[in-house]
Structure 1
């Protein structure tokens, strides 16, 4: 009963994108972060007012008229849009909660999934308007909600915002990540008083180990994938105004994926029919990671923008070990190669592995076993994938 109003409010918000275009819903105006930091930089001292247009049902005069008064109420002053530095502050904190503060994650997950759904629909609608050449500038991704979070920056800050966005997506609950993306509210992680409501406890919070291998499930992976897909799409569609090229962003994302703990790395870097990350983007990220890990004797892919053929896989990728003797590097390379092979056979359902491909697989397994003590399985490939 204590949470009935909040649940009904969330249900109402979740229905808005399904019923209205984002540009007509008012959400674009709502999703604005206010820079209300005091001069001495004390984030917790924010108390400035937030401007809003408030629809009032008046007993006299025109019903539904708008009032431009300022909202000066603790609920407004303490809201996410006033307390958080920017959207990427919230993203980073949400990811930190997913790893270290699961009781907070229970709530933040609902908020983040709603916001990401709005961002995705906003981008889709604007691309459709642009392609149909309707509503003038309404189709400009620079004016989308996610576009504002990434593109409308002070001179010289553009690339740093993209880097901050990627850091937020891969925040891991470590001391450094929490320093970069601290709690949105003061005492947010403080244990509630006896008798207060507690979210269901699924994993022991704040175990102090910084180990996030057990703490990141499919919901976290899905959010990371969706946010990466948004970044890549906006970057690709705004090349004339973005401060970062699509290739640079792919390199930036790949560098973070490469250094994830292996269970998280292999969980994130894998093809799935339900992913919002385009197969072309996954293919590109995988090939970038392989290029950093593979033996320098491997010849370059002659057609890096196209899906590798069986001949390319057998010649440029599969027979090689990592460029170091580190077990970890050889394991990561083995998995990335398997992703490439799986993507090929997912796309070519009727293809059978050629003898040259199978021979290259065998050579690669032996090479990685000799260099780092790992080979890789590829069991399904030999069965036709």
Structure 2
């Protein structure tokens, strides 16, 4: 009994420490809440977000609680940050600004209040919603309490009369977490919430664990879907499984010339006496002003671009976008996964999976099984992408996790090479010299040998960063022998290659030589 009491006291102290990092909260009073809602109803999103941000940051540096709106506002603003109507399919600077402002406000909430304390965790859920009515009777009223009760933050479809809060909401359009293009904000919230639950020992209740709940109940094939989602590349097979959230969201903004013609053609008569306000306040009207601006991407993990479904284009618009819709040359290398920023977000999801499985194996699976799935999907990747996952400029995994993943990846590549099988958790310099550094890939070809080279380099750098290397002769000999045998393996492969295969082998040779030079530089630094 005393042990249980001590354990509970420890958890309470941990939760108190976690809470102290964030400001306390209270519901936004009815007057500013109604003002914000009215602005949203009238399409003045930037004004509404400014009022929300002002109430959030007021009183910083004092014990005073901060004001936050009901949950559906967070869900609505998250939709604005990615919806094509405000991003990829508009030239309207005001709409793009609204998307940027919404993102900044949600980032402020996550930083100042925290995912759990603010209700972001409950707001970022997939729900069935209905179209709102005109009633505002259910809006929040002024409350004196400083504690934010959960029922006060629940969804109220009547609060926001916008299709982006209902049928066009990200949370109602997408099937689940793995079906959408995710925000960096989303990863920030997932990570902070996971660590918060780690502190009080409630990992299964975390937001990420809840997203994985249905996956964890099924077999390995379902768990493999996680990797297919993380590595989705916009090909037909990927799009078939992870379909568009909004129809035609890959299309760019409409042609300004045709836009003006269509606007004149569709312009409605303004008759104030009879309550006909024409196009004023109509969110679904044509795609606005031809004013140009740079489009800033707010997400890039699962797919490299976004698409729209809320509006139906006229035939003339489709013709004007014909150049956009023509298939281009297939992207290669890192560009196939959306470039370096996209890869960074993908590795963050991998790191979250590793962290979750290390903290609570029963929630999904243990780390060994997780790395087995990683190996299945990472090993066949094109060399340029493979290199980014196994030997990135900055490691996204902790040393133990990276070491375990590299060991798992080495097994199929070194099979048949004569390398001793190493099946322990800790890799020391002696193990590195005997089991990994001196060997070439078991199969022939430059690509596999280049992959072995970058993995040996990654393991060498890992040992160096963690003070596990001593500059001795045996280390240099092992590294130099491995470089030589891999060169010989490629040189004596004997297969004649042409076209793409020849280019692939040429690239592999350059990667292998660059990796060899970097490893020798590390050895020179040691001596």
TM-score range, shorter chain: 0.7 to 0.9
Aligned counterpart for 1:264 among listed residues 366, 385, 395 = 385
> Following the alignment from structure 1 to structure 2, what is the Cα–Cα distance between the partners of residues 214 and 67?
41
**Correspondent of 2:229 among 168, 174, 197:** 168
Q: Distance in 1 between matches of 2:120 and 2:342?
A: 24
Q: Take 2:487 and 2:208, find their aligned partners in 1: how far apart are those partners? A: 45
Residues of 1 paired with 2:143 and 2:415: CA distance? 74
Q: Are the aligned partners of 1:290 and 1:333 in contact in 2 as well (CA < 8 Å)?
A: yes
Alignment partners' CA distance in 2, 1:32 and 1:361: 50
SS at match of 1:56: coil
**5+ unaligned residues in a row in structure 2: which ranges?**
1-92, 146-151, 257-289, 298-303, 305-322, 492-508
Matching residue of 1:120: 191
Q: Is 1:141 the equivalent of 2:203?
A: yes
Q: 2:406 aligns with which of 286, 306, 313?
A: 286
**Counterpart-to-counterpart distance in 2, 1:319 and 1:252:** 27
Once the 2 structures are TM-superposed, how far is the Cα of residue 182 of structure 1 from its aligned partner? 1.7
Retained in 2: the 8 A contact 1:225–1:276? yes
Structure 1 position 193, deviation (Å): 1.2
Residues 1:66 and 1:29: Cα distance change in structure 2 (over 3 Å):
closer
Q: CA deviation at 1:122?
A: 0.1
Q: Which residue of 2 aligns with 1:309?
A: 428
Further displaced range: 214-223 or 23-32: 214-223
| TM-score, normalization by structure 1 | 0.78
Kindly name which structure, 1 or 2, has the bigger radius of gyration based on alpha carbons: 2
Which residue of 457, 472, 495 maps to 1:354? 472
Aligned-pair CA distance for 1:85: 0.9
Tell me what 2:117 maps to.
24
Which residue of structure 2 aligns with residue 15 of structure 1? 108
Cα gap change, 1:67 to 1:295, in 2 (>3 Å): closer
Task: Report what 2:212 is aligned to.
Answer: 150
The runs of 5 or more residues in structure 1 that have no matched partner are: 37-46, 95-110, 131-139
8 A Cα contact 2:334 2:340, kept in partner:
no
- 2:393 & 2:330 partners in 1: Cα distance? 31
Query: 1:380–1:191: structure 2 CA closer, same or farther, 3 Å change rule?
Result: same
Q: Report how far residue 236 of structure 1 moved.
A: 2.1
The size of the alignment, in residue pairs, is 337
Matches within 5 A, 1:1-385: 1-3=93-95, 4-34=97-127, 48=130, 56-58=139-141, 69-71=156-158, 73-75=162-164, 76-90=166-180, 94=181, 112-130=183-201, 140-152=202-214, 155=217, 157=218, 159-195=220-256, 196=290, 199-200=294-295, 207-214=328-335, 216-242=338-364, 244-270=365-391, 272-273=393-394, 275-296=395-416, 297-301=418-422, 304-306=424-426, 308-348=427-467, 351-373=469-491, 376=513, 377=516, 378-384=519-525
Name the SS for the 2:384 alignment partner. helix
- How far is 1:326 from its partner? 1.9
Deviation at 1:9, TM superposition (A): 2.0
Q: Is the 8 A contact 1:169 1:227 kept in 2?
A: yes
What is the rounded CA distance, in whole Å, between the counterparts of 2:293 and 2:483 in structure 1? 50
Cα deviation for residue 190 of structure 1 reads: 2.3
Asked if the contact 1:319/1:363 (under 8 Å) is kept, the reply is yes
In structure 2, the CA distance between the partners of 1:267 and 1:54, relative to structure 1 (3 Å rule), is farther
